[in-house]
Structure 1
Amino acid sequence: MLLGIGHGLLAPPTLAGTVGLIPALAGSAAAVGGLVQQMTGALGGFFVGVFPHHGPVNMVLLMLGWAVCGLAAQLVLFRVVLRR
């Protein structure tokens, strides 16, 4: 339930920010945003299948790895925005 609430609060402003940057390219931006979401989900599903499921430690490490990737992407985004 909390995941659904969080997604509902974060997804609309994110998509609006993606397509609102250059209004003439809104359709292309929405397509690329959807592609990135689908590919990230596919990679996540692949890595969940690759790691052994013998205990919760592997899943915790996988989730921690994805969290670190998200944090790194956010830091790169902040750095790019601050340059402008």
Structure 2
Amino acid sequence: MQMNIKVPDEFEAQVHNDMLQIAVEAFKQAGKREELPNYMSKKQATSYAGVSFNTLQKMIAQGLRVSIVGGVQRISKQAIDDFYKENEI
């Protein structure tokens, strides 16, 4: 069964603009994530993971893998992706 609903042109235009704005913002965020290096500083990792620094520290305590080379800590995108996948419920 198909239903046709007529809405005012102004409403339709507003919904269109809102959806376009949401899509543009989503693409911007995705682009920023892709600009990050494969091995990130903790600050970069918080941006990639979408969490605060304190939450990142908790994730590390819960098993998020950190690479340490020459005393420098780096977290890979893959480690974050794996951590999220391992903790899905």
Bigger fraction of residues in helix: 1
Q: Which has the higher contact order (CA 8 A, sep 6+)?
A: 2
The structure where strand makes up a greater share of residues is 2
Return the index of the structure with the highest Cα Rg.
2
**Structure-1-length-normalised TM-score:** 0.41
Give me the TM-score of the superposition, normalised by structure 2.
0.39
